A and B are shown apart, each in its own frame.
Chain A
Amino acid sequence: MVAAVLVAFAGALGAPWVYRGLGNWAGWGLALLPLGLTLYFASFLPAVLAGQTLRHGVPWVPSLGVSLSFYLDGLSLLFALLITGIGTFIVIYSGGYLKGHPDLGRFYLVILLFMASMLGLVLADNIVTLFVMWELTSLTSYLLIGFNHTEFRSRRAATQALIVTAGGGLALLAGLILLAGMGGSWEISELLAKGEVLRAHPWYLGALVLVLLGAFTKSAQFPFHFWLPNAMEAPTPVSAYLHSATMVKAGVYLLARLQPALGGTEVWNSTLMAFGLATLLTGATLTFRHTDLKRLLAYSTVAALGALVFAIGMVPLTSYYGAVGFATFLLAHSLYKGGLFMAAGAVDHEAGTRNIGQLSGLFRAMPITGVAVVLAALSLAGLPPVLGFLGKEVLYSAALEAARPWMIGLAVLGFAVGATLALILTVPFFRGRPPEGVHEGPPSLWLGPVVLAGLGLLVGLFPGLYNPLADAVASAVKGHPVEYHLKLWHGLNLPLLLSLLTVFLGVGLYFLYPRLQDWMAREPVPGPESAYVGLMRGLMRFSSGLERLLQSGSLRAYLVWTFSGLVVLVGLALLRGNGLFWPQLPLGPHPGQAVLLVLMLLAALAALRLRAHLAMVVVVGIVGAGVAIIFLLQNAPDLAITQFLVETLTAVLIALVLLQIRRIGAVPRGRFLDKLVALGFGGVLTLLMLSMLAQPMSPHLSQFFAEKSLPEGFGRNIVNVILVDFRGLDTFGEITVVGLAGLGVYALLQRLRREEKP
């Protein structure tokens, strides 16, 4: 398993070269990677269906308890199969949909990276691995939403999605760390066995809220749902893959995964049911506001995600309906929504518009896509004999067992909108005549929708095909083995009546659709998105105010801020220190040092009186040279050489700058504030030196370096051996800083040059 995930990452990194080699056929070629992974994971089916769980890992950062460990049970296997299986068709589809796009190589790279991260996420057993993969999916999603990065709207949508999901990710990180602390393990499989300890722990509520924040933002639950419809700015393969079939289900996955450990408490059940239901209704209501195919589908995805969270909330309250309903509806939704999105993209690609009002007669023009849309829409509407019907039936059974009547009513209303949407989507295929020149797309564009929608029909007709896996998934979510018999016909019972009611309601709403749409377009209600916009605007205003204050462009202001900041911070630290030490001047064997010190003092005083820049540079240089000579006299030749060189180069650099500026007057007289800051800075540094000398000096380290330098570092120059060997990592950090500073100076000067040129 570890190897499979690593292969997925490696394959993704190689994608641009495959694209360069295969060109237009790269989609088909690259699809072999997810296809191979699908087959690989399918090979685990017998073992997992027999009730086994597989665990495999290699140490990553063993000292921190972080390992690259993966865990395969029914739940992760279903997700792995969905990710790789749908991924196969998505890659093929991308080749047709984005054919000839200049950045297609990059696209393959990122979408396959996403696939690998998502795979890692659902397989991860270690909490840190899970979190790293979770963040990787957020990052790749950001890159994919912003794929058309020249469009402002894509950039804005990408940033919004990233801020919402990554913000939730931070909460999740805190929540997961709390969980690990509560359960005493970094492995999820071990935490699952400690459910009672976790639920009774005083941190339970805090950890739960944090985990829920992570899951709700990722899975677009109310009130964080707004980023998902905006993410439709992404190319359609991305919307089909990330923002309907897989990534947005990561939060749902996490909740289902942790259900046996955290679920069953009153807070869990009611929070999940309430937010799930609220999301279902929000998605359903907002569907009526739009006419764009992808936006319509996006709101229906929001609704479906709400239904899934609602189902997880019902798991502890039901014998098995909740868990089985979750397992069935999850598969049904991934299949029909992935298919519908790809079909919508194909229609957009061929007909040139996604506006539902401008499409007509498509069935005659695009019969294959048409069949796929009809099948997927049946599933969306929850009509027999497709999988969506089964999923909805079991969910209704669960709701009848666990939920209050008013909740059931709201759920029926939410699902009814699914039926309405199914009608909205299929009518343009049969109404009117096909537009001129619109015809079926290439196989790459219809293969995915046909296979996904066909699978929905196949499993609907023969539920036995999915039944064992559904049981395995339900067992993982429930926490103990579950057996249930999925079938199309349960006799005339209450769930069936609710289904009938749903369909009638849905059809009724369809006839109200035009009027509702007018009404909703006229009355825009401020939603949670305006809170987000307000927050971002406030943040921008704050930071631009701060920038005006700190980054004024005046060198004097920068120095004043830097130095006075240092004075305050170091001064505060000194106040809490261990007192000062008045040093014995180590004049020792070189009485000449006293003369040197007097000279340096005189030079420093002279610097205060002088009015010519170059002369000031020279006298300050005298102070530096004096320090270097003291180093030399104290037997520190390396320091002395460095000090000399730095002094020389500083003088040269300042001289060069002065030569370039040319028109420069005399040094202005110091202002009062400047004098104050300078005095404070000098004073604080002096105090700092004195308090450092007051610390007891341990000879331990210098002895260690002196003894080990030659035998272990093979060098007689201790200073150098420390720099390049014993403390090499520090040096590496330092040269990185030096390099970046050089880059910064150069870039700044280039920028000046550009700004000066009109």
Chain B
Amino acid sequence: MNTLILRTTSSFLFTLLLLLSVFLLFRGHNEPGGGFIGALVAVGAYALYALAHGLSAARRLLPLHPLRLVGWGLLVALLSALVAFLLGKPLMTGVWFSLLGVKVGTPVIFDIGVYLTVFGALLSAIFGLEESAKAHRSEEG
């Protein structure tokens, strides 16, 4: 979609949407939002950019393969669940502590895991499409 307006604004919107997604992730515990919603917004940011600049350009904006994020997300979620277990409480009990004056809890870390997994999985699907299409094109051209 080669409209000038979309091409120009999408770069700004991309950054803004990513910021929004992180904001949604962290405010989710008290206000509408959360890891799942945040991840969807982040994927939306990439999708918008891809529509404007093409999938390959969008892909260059992510330094690592999104499938890796799936692994990391699951690992983070699992580790956050294990914290309570290692402290002798039932698995996944929320453990809260203060880090440099900020209240941090394992449920928040768990939500970060959710964010990474959902983001990675959806983006893998989108980028996978691009790769298969590229192979198609190189075959035809």
Answer yes or no: are A and B bound together in one complex.
Answer: yes
Residues of A bordering B, CB below 8 Å = 637-638, 641-642, 645-646, 648-649, 652-653, 655-657, 660, 712-717, 719-721, 723-725, 728-729, 731-732, 735-736, 738-739, 741-743, 745-746, 748-750, 752-753, 756-757
In the A-B complex, the 5 residue pairs with the smallest Cβ-Cβ separation, listed nearest first, are A742-B121, A749-B128, A645-B40, A715-B29, A637-B32
Chain B interface extent, by class: 35 or more
Cα distance A653–B110 in the bound complex, in angstroms: 27
* A735: nearest chain-B partner, CB-CB: B117
Please state if A645 and B44 are interface contacts (CB–CB under 8 Å): yes
Contact residues in A for B126 (Cβ distance below 8 Å): 653, 656
Please state if A715 and B78 are interface contacts (CB–CB under 8 Å): no
Please state if B77 and A732 are interface contacts (CB–CB under 8 Å): yes
Contact residues in B for A652 (Cβ distance below 8 Å): 44, 47-48, 51
Please state if A657 and B34 are interface contacts (CB–CB under 8 Å): no
Cα distance A26–B140 in the bound complex, in angstroms: 55
Please state if B34 and A742 are interface contacts (CB–CB under 8 Å): no
Contact residues in A for B111 (Cβ distance below 8 Å): 720, 723-724
Given contacts A660-B133, A753-B135, contact A743 B29 (CB under 8 A): no
Given contacts A716-B31, A717-B28, contact A749 B129 (CB under 8 A): yes
* B24: nearest chain-A partner, CB-CB: A641
Known pairs A660-B130, A748-B128, A757-B135 / 14 extra A-B pairs, C-beta < 8 Å = A638-B34, A645-B41, A714-B96, A714-B105, A716-B30, A720-B29, A723-B34, A723-B36, A728-B110, A739-B120, A739-B121, A742-B121, A749-B128, A756-B136
Contact residues in A for B67 (Cβ distance below 8 Å): 742-743, 746
Cα distance A451–B69 in the bound complex, in angstroms: 54
Cα distance A133–B78 in the bound complex, in angstroms: 26
Given contacts A721-B107, A732-B77, contact A743 B121 (CB under 8 A): yes
Contact residues in A for B51 (Cβ distance below 8 Å): 652, 655-656
Please state if A742 and B70 are interface contacts (CB–CB under 8 Å): yes
Min CB gap A207→B, angstroms: 35
Please state if B124 and A717 are interface contacts (CB–CB under 8 Å): no
Tell me the chain B residues, 13-69 only, with Cβ under 8 Å from chain A.
28-37, 40-41, 43-44, 47-48, 50-51, 55, 66-67
Max chain A C-beta neighbours (<10 A), residue from B66, B117, B127:
B117
Cα distance A732–B111 in the bound complex, in angstroms: 10
Given contacts A648-B44, A743-B67, contact A638 B37 (CB under 8 A): yes
Min CB gap B117→A, angstroms: 4
Contact residues in B for A713 (Cβ distance below 8 Å): 94, 107
Q: Residue A724 contacts which of B31, B103, B110, B124 (CB distance < 8 angstroms)?
A: B110
Residues of B bordering A, CB below 8 Å = 28-37, 40-41, 43-44, 47-48, 50-51, 55, 66-67, 70-71, 73-74, 77-78, 81, 91-92, 94, 96, 103, 105, 107-108, 110-111, 113-114, 117-118, 120-133, 135-136, 139
* B136: nearest chain-A partner, CB-CB: A756
Q: Residue A745 contacts which of B44, B107, B114, B128 (CB distance < 8 angstroms)?
A: B128
Please state if B74 and A735 are interface contacts (CB–CB under 8 Å): yes
Interface CB pairs A-B, < 8 A, 9: A638-B34, A641-B33, A648-B44, A649-B122, A714-B107, A715-B29, A724-B29, A742-B121, A749-B129
Q: Residue A728 contacts which of B50, B73, B92 (CB distance < 8 angstroms)?
A: B92
Cα distance A198–B17 in the bound complex, in angstroms: 69
Given contacts A645-B44, A646-B40, A756-B136, contact A656 B55 (CB under 8 A): yes
Please state if A752 and B29 are interface contacts (CB–CB under 8 Å): no
Given contacts A735-B73, A749-B132, contact A649 B44 (CB under 8 A): yes
Q: Residue B129 contacts which of A641, A646, A656 (CB distance < 8 angstroms)?
A: A656
Please state if B129 and A721 are interface contacts (CB–CB under 8 Å): no
Min CB gap A415→B, angstroms: 56
Please state if A717 and B30 are interface contacts (CB–CB under 8 Å): yes
Please state if B113 and A735 are interface contacts (CB–CB under 8 Å): yes
Contact residues in B for A749 (Cβ distance below 8 Å): 125, 128-129, 131-132
Min CB gap B53→A, angstroms: 13
Given contacts A657-B129, A714-B103, A746-B125, contact A756 B135 (CB under 8 A): yes
Cα distance A731–B111 in the bound complex, in angstroms: 10
Contact residues in B for A731 (Cβ distance below 8 Å): 110, 114
* A739: nearest chain-B partner, CB-CB: B70
* A729: nearest chain-B partner, CB-CB: B92
Please state if B34 and A719 are interface contacts (CB–CB under 8 Å): yes
Cα distance A715–B34 in the bound complex, in angstroms: 11
Contact residues in B for A716 (Cβ distance below 8 Å): 29-31
Cα distance A712–B125 in the bound complex, in angstroms: 37
Cα distance A745–B123 in the bound complex, in angstroms: 10
Cα distance A657–B96 in the bound complex, in angstroms: 44
Min CB gap A87→B, angstroms: 33
